[in-house]
Amino acid sequence: MKVVLLAYTPAPEQTVAAAARLCYSDTDVEALRESISLKKAEQFVEMLDGFGHESPVEHVSFTFGIEGVSRSFLAQVTRHRLASYSVQSQRYVRQDPFLYITPPAIASDSALLAEYQQMMQQAVESYNQLADALETRYVSKLMEEGMTEQNARKKAEKMAIEDARYVLPNACETKMILTMNVRSLRNFFRLRCCNRAQWEIRAVALEMLRICCEVSPALFHNAGPSCCCGGCTEGKMSCGKAKEVQQKIEVIRNGTK
């Protein structure tokens, strides 16, 4: 897994403070923005948090590049709808080489790992067989329709992998670019940094939280799972390890992995 910060709104704290103050000021926008120092902006952000006033933080967004994650992760992360996603397409990118994610529980058991690897090998062999057979069929069809062989082969490959991908497992590796505003990120961290979140999306969420805290500690000083920003909301499903989780999140907030 690899998570990198590609871009974020410049001067995030001042942007949030300016957006909030504009609602009650007759000063022009540029003058208002320039009048807010970083220290004052951080104090203003803290005051907004105390009010529970979250809409101004929507003006700040973070864009991440995420690699080495599974299609299973993709299915989970896209449930967070207030975000933008660009994902490597299996329609247009042939899985060659075929990369896949191995769950830690499987990787730690040699017998299970051997069986898992065999299943992945079978999947990629089926994928390649289907892709090759379909490509041959489509080349002939396209050439019969008057297309040159070179163009037919180029188009046929894309048409073939579009159908061959159906045999690929959830373990198949993918990569994406993801953008969220601060309000959506805070909600994402509440849900996905939790011990009850699935291991892969939790690992990504914790790394994203570490990066956000490093860039803008004022905006994310209370970010994390619900047990770290109010109280556990899992009820009877709670992991029962709130203190342990709080200590881990505190380390991340303080800038240490």
C-alpha 183/C-alpha 185 separation (Å) is 5
Catalytic residues: 192
Burial 185-200 (b: 16+ CB within 10 A, else e): bbebbbbbbbbebeeb
Phi, psi dihedrals of residue 66, rounded to the nearest 5° = -125, 125
C-alpha 189/C-alpha 167 separation (Å) is 33
Q: β-strand 61-70 against 173-181: which pairing, if any?
A: antiparallel
Q: Nearest-CA neighbor of 87 among 164, 25, 173?
A: 173
Dihedral of CA atoms 73, 75, 77, 82 in degrees, nearest 10, equals 170
C-alpha 179/C-alpha 173 separation (Å) is 20
Instruction: Could you list the beta-strand ranges (E) of 71-128.
Output: 84-87
